[in-house]
Chain A
Amino acid sequence: DAKTTQPPSMDCAEGRAANLPCNHSTISGNEYVYWYRQIHSQGPQYIIHGLKNNETNEMASLIITEDRKSSTLILPHATLRDTAVYYCIVRSRTGTASKLTFGTGTRLQVTL
């Protein structure tokens, strides 16, 4: 699987958009980009995933560059409850047996 690079930490003011970058320059054509987050003392939570088109759901938007070498997770109106570690994961689909490997992620601190 392609390796990902994320900044170790970021701050965001409450109510503002939080833009979390992820670099995956070695991504291959059949690899998807997944985002999870982990709020303190909880298990990781799925946010969104995409292949090459931008995606949006009730939690966030995912913007993938045209060359697919990087992506940005956007939380449009960050709240204090969005303070968490955000993991960007690149994973290929290999039949029914596959696994997710988590890196170190970005620690997002949302402040008043």
Chain B
Amino acid sequence: DAGVIQSPRHEVTEMGQEVTLRCKPISGHNSLFWYRQTMMRGLELLIYFNNNVPIDDSGMPEDRFSAKMPNASFSTLKIQPSEPRDSAVYFCASRATGRETNEKLFFGSGTQLSVL
């Protein structure tokens, strides 16, 4: 299995531009998570989906951020318009939910976003 695949690996954009980050979870996993990591705030959970349905988006910083999961194999995180304070590493993770407690998340390599 290729693991969780994120693209792009690096993104540099100018303030005000739209940014779209992409994630392909591990096949068969039915939960997907978007995290953001900065030096100041550490790893923050932005939103997570279960069976393609957004369950908790309380971590999404503001309306400029939106996330979708149109099918079980693809998710996007969009920032429009982007601002310099959005600069961070964005991680996607997926999980297979079973009957027993299972918080074994598999993380992608992340997208390093720089907004100038």
Residue A97 lies at the interface, judged by CB distance under 8 Å to chain B: yes
**Contact for A42 among B33, B48, B109, CB less than 8 A:** B109
Q: Which residues of A contact B (CB under 8 A)?
A: 32, 34, 36, 42-46, 49, 51, 89, 91, 93, 96-104
Using a CB–CB distance below 8 Å, which chain B residues touch chain A? Answer: 4, 31, 33, 35, 42-43, 45, 48, 50, 55-56, 91, 93, 97, 101, 103-110
Nearest-Cβ distance from residue B12 to partner chain A, whole angstroms: 17
- Using Cβ atoms and an 8 Å threshold, which residues of chain A touch B97? 96
Q: With a CB–CB cut-off of 8 A, which chain B residues contact A102?
A: 35, 42-43
Cβ B93 vs Cβ A101 within 8 A: no
Q: Is the CB–CB distance between A45 and B107 below 8 Å?
A: yes
**Residue in contact with B105 in the complex, picked from A44, A93, A96, A104, CB distance below 8 Å:** A44
CB distance from A110 to the nearest CB of B (A): 22
Q: By CB atoms of chain B within 10 A, which of A34, A42, A100, A101 has the most?
A: A100
